[in-house]
Amino acid sequence: MSTTPFKNGFAPVAEEITAFDLEVTGRIPAELNGRYLRNGPNPLSLDDPNAGHLFLGEGMVHGVRLRDGRAEWYRNRWVRSAAVAERLGEPARPGPVHEGMDFAANTHVIGLAGRTFATVEAGALPYELGYELDTIGSCDFDGGLPGGYAAHTHLDPVSGELHALAYFFGWDHHQHVVIDPKGEVTQVRRIPIADAPMVHDFALTERFVVIYDLPVTFSMAHAEKGVSLPYAWNDAHAPRLGLMSRETGDVRWVEAPSCWVFHTLNAYDDGDEVVVDVVSYPKGFVDARLDAGGPPTLDRWRVNLATGRVGVARLDDRAQEFPRMDERRTGRSYRYGYTAATRELHEIVRPATELEDLPDEAFDNTLIKHDLERGTQESRQFGRGAYVGEPVFVGSGQAEDDGYVMSYVNNPARGAADLVILPAQDFTGEPLATVHLPARVPLGFHGSWIAD
């Protein structure tokens, strides 16, 4: 197995590690009993054709287990698809495969019905993981999934239902999938959509599932050239939003801003309007660049249900990504959100030999807290050379802002990562606790706090 010759934030780690009784600076709140998990691409070898692609490395989940004020363990584990298991000299895990797409899910890791799942989009199925991050096998929820699944899900905090939008380049539709609190698929709805657009995320309100049908679509030209991720900006595909009634399944389409969206902060119903807060890019997937046309900014869309018009307001014009909020407020009006600042986004596809040329300065050391009621922001900067991951909010008391913000933060002085726990109500103050991990955690994608 190759070791990485470069030091930038996306550089993969080369081995799996288990460490116990981690060193902690400060005090971990005793009520935090559970696991902080995060998934991301981590190629098994830099000799792999996809090793230079930010989206296509095999998934590796990094986890810290907290209990009674202690950091009991850290583990990092590759998700064992059949190919990964074979290369590691292990037997293949059991489970179904959709359309031959057996992929080591690398985008998110979630908890559902006492189980843990690594997820990815575009047709592949999720992989179930054990409590200590060992791979159990691929999962279609006892045949409930008619196809693949989705990278992003949204949990209704009242009903306990988990919503997802699944897509696949071979389909002429998307699927809205609902899983109940017991982990059973209770509803699958087909939504006809032309051109096979990429749909990385969506939004959920009390009344609607909000679908982003934007101009990044499947590209046959890229597929014929063997491009690993065959999607491209498509000027001929008119941008629109779909408002699907959660009650009836009827979809109303309205004209949307011309842009690309990876991630939703939150959405909610506001009388005769639907409010949708997103991180938007002016364009995406043009000449293999994510940030074509400008950096990603935090925007608010107001959909007028009477006129069908969408108003756009800029909430923060700084480059930022990975929006999260108090998910007890998902689909409801809310006040606070959290993002990670970015400086420069590089090409989606780079040869592995060129990855060492990506500057560390591209990865910011700043988390941002947004007060959407006041229209203000607070910034929490870490040390020079640090880079931060997605900020995950963990509620404590009943108030929306009463809780903690967790993130993996690279510590350049140690050459390893820390799990930093910030008090949400004193965001710019000192961390409550810093858990010192024994290894780097490369920049990756999404994660969850999964309480015991």
Instruction: Tell me the pLDDT tens digit for each residue of 40-86.
Output: 999 997 677 666 667 778 999 999 999 999 999 999 999 999 999 99
Q: Which of 49-58, 198-207, 287-296 has the highest mean pLDDT?
A: 198-207
Mean pLDDT, the chain, whole residue set: 91
* Per-residue pLDDT, 219: 84
Per-residue pLDDT, 344: 57
Give me the mean pLDDT over the 256-272 stretch: 97
Average pLDDT over residues 161-175: 94
Q: Give residues with Cβ within 8 angstroms of 114, minimum separation 6.
A: none
> So what's the pLDDT on residue 3?
34
Q: Which of the pair, 343 or 312, is modelled with greater confidence?
A: 312
What pLDDT shows up at residue 52?
Answer: 60
Pairing between β-strand 376-381 and β-strand 447-451 as defined by DSSP bridges: unpaired
The answer on pLDDT for 284 being more than 70 is yes
Over residues 394-428, the pLDDT tens digits come to 999 999 999 999 999 998 889 999 999 999 999 99
Query: What integer pLDDT is reported at residue 5 of this predicted model?
Result: 34
Instruction: Give yes or no for residue 443 having a pLDDT over 70.
Output: yes
Q: Which of 12-21, 222-231, 335-344 has the lowest mean pLDDT?
A: 222-231
Q: Which residue has the tokens 């809780």?
A: 403
Range of weakest confidence among 38-52, 74-88, 193-207, 258-272: 38-52
- Please say if the pLDDT value at position 270 is more than 90: yes
**Quick one: pLDDT at residue 45?**
76
- Above 60 in pLDDT, residue 204? yes
Domains annotated for the chain, with CATH where assigned, are 18-451 (2.130.10.10)
